[in-house]
Amino acid sequence: MATTDPSIDRDVPPSRDVLLQQLTDVLARSGHVGLTAVGVSFVDGDIELALKALDCHDVVQGLAGFRAPAAWDAFALVARATARHIERRAWSQAVTVAVLASRDGGTASAVRRLHADGDDTSGEPRDELLDKLERVNGGEGRVLDTCRRVLGLPTAPPTHTTALWSAIHWVDAALSAVLAAELGTKPSWQELRRLDRGRRHAEWPWSLLRADCAAGRLRIPTISRDAAAWMDDGMFSREVMTAYPPVAEMVADLRELLPRDTYNRLLAAICERMEPGSTADLAL
């Protein structure tokens, strides 16, 4: 669905901050309550918004492979949400959350509070918590990574090594094997070693690892071949690291399930590939 926002000054290109405020206002009035993709085009002094509700549980999986039309100058994702305070348990507020990436490489995010009936409350007395929440900023994260890739823009570079991934990949395979073993039996150390299929990738650059996933030669939970091809190396590296359960939890489970000697050998081998500081939470 395409719409033009008449409230925007046609003679002055809006800043990202202003554009985000207007996006959240427009979406708050539009009745969209789920995750909504918004294509933004500057056309003859107007700003046109192309809206599409997304029926998906995960924004990356829902948009993987999608490329924005060349006419779109920016892309945003907007959704209704409920803001809650960690300590003030009774406090909650209906909000609209928006994140945006523009073709010039800039990003921004905003949160707007809503009445229970869905109306924007920007003109009413403000809550101190929401004053902090509604500040418009740039940032990082999977939603902004997704917005950037929809526009064909690069994301932030990888922050972890493929060696760390290979260790997590092995721990996941080892735990799966232990849980699948017949009652009363445990995989031997030799059997667990054979599950270390990511070891040969431990020194690879992320670009080669991603190419293997895109070609179907490497399977990573939740990441399809098409999604791997659509991502860049930075986004792929972050998605890979979150595709598995937390490594500390998996290692703690293995500690309870494996014979002590086997567990110690596995832990020592894993720690050799972990990054500085990343072994602190492991069950030593």
DSSP reduced 3-state for 235? helix
CA 257 centroid distance within chain: 32
Place of tokens 């492991």: 282
Q: How far apart are CA 29 and CA 48, in angstroms?
A: 16
Per-residue pLDDT tens over the stretch 185-207: 899 999 999 999 888 888 899 99
User: What is residue 39's DSSP assignment?
Assistant: E
Of 13, 214, 205, 233, nearest to 103 by C-alpha is 13
Q: How far apart are CA 171 and CA 187, in angstroms?
A: 13
Per-residue pLDDT tens over the stretch 218-251: 999 889 999 999 999 999 999 999 999 999 999 9
Both structure tokens of 280: 């602190």
Q: What is the pLDDT along the chain (284 residues), one digit of tens a residue?
A: 444 444 445 455 566 667 766 766 666 565 566 788 999 988 877 788 898 888 888 889 889 999 999 999 999 998 887 777 777 777 777 888 888 898 988 888 777 776 544 444 444 434 444 443 344 445 578 999 999 999 999 999 998 999 999 999 999 999 999 999 988 889 999 999 999 988 888 889 999 999 999 999 999 988 999 999 999 999 999 999 999 999 999 999 999 999 999 999 999 999 988 877 666 566 55
Both structure tokens of 260: 């002590």
Place of tokens 């020592």: 268
The Cβ of residue 202 has, within 10 Å, a number of other Cβ atoms equal to 19
The pTM for the full model equals 0.80
